[in-house]
Structure 1
Amino acid sequence: MDNELENRLASDIDHADFATEAPPDASVDRDESRIIFQTKSVNMQVAALSNAFEDARFHIGGLDDPRIITPLGAEVTMTIQNQDELHPHGWKLIKETPPFAHPEIAASAPPAFPGAEITHIAPHHQETIHFTVDQPGVYTYLCPDLSDNDVGLYGIWEVAPGH
């Protein structure tokens, strides 16, 4: 793809309402900063945000870095949009949980589930991933790019067996 076409496609992404509404089939608990899915078909939008020189964050369902709770066996489809003006971002779900004694090890950890990773999304681009959460537990979603203040974009993902 030539650079002019790629730049035009990137600039055509609409950031205004992306990841601001509750995902379908989920409830949002704003007081506890949680998004709870009741069905095994999980669809959500994630915006990687940075306010140049302030804390970077993942914006999901109108919340910043919320706890995501899904039922065991959920099939997840996520569209991740990099709204950062300058820096690439990624997204990965790992088994480790904070605090991270060695952020570089956490950032390079393998994904907890096959397909639960995008290593690079250029500014103003988006990618979609699909994976199945087939083991109960508590996981961390994060940006594997260590320029994010030693794992600055992250949140907790819980796979609940009886959910």
Structure 2
Amino acid sequence: MRHKEKLYAFSSKEAALKFASRPDDFIAEMQPGESLLVKPITKCESSTQTDLHPVETNIVKSYEWNEWELRRKAIRLANLRTKVTHSAQTDLSHMRRENITQTWLPKDAACQSKRDGESNMPRPQVYLAGLRGQRDGHMVKTNLTRSVDE
């Protein structure tokens, strides 16, 4: 119910009629902290999405509703019954086919490959032992570089 640009809500029709008879008296009798005002109605948008076809359909591809197409199919089937099939196979030639394949036998000669004639200098390598777990700081340096003569 609207009274002086304010909206009021009631629990029953009788309470609304009682308020409508003396609205100012009811508002004056209200204790501080009590409010008969209704909160503003808030609106929100929501949406849901459903599958396009939630139930799997049973579509029969061979179903035909056109009477003329059904007649055409019946005539075709009737014509097939009167046709005689021809075959080029005989009792001796059935289950035979040409088994020709082309193969290449492996060659006996070896192939030649490029041979590197360059020399490689040895790469210097040094191994340091005792870097971890040693509290006294004792480290051993080992030279692993190979000599040029090897």
TM-score of the superposed pair, with normalisation by structure 2: 0.14
- Mark the structure with the bigger radius of gyration: 2
> Greater share of strand residues, 1 or 2?
1
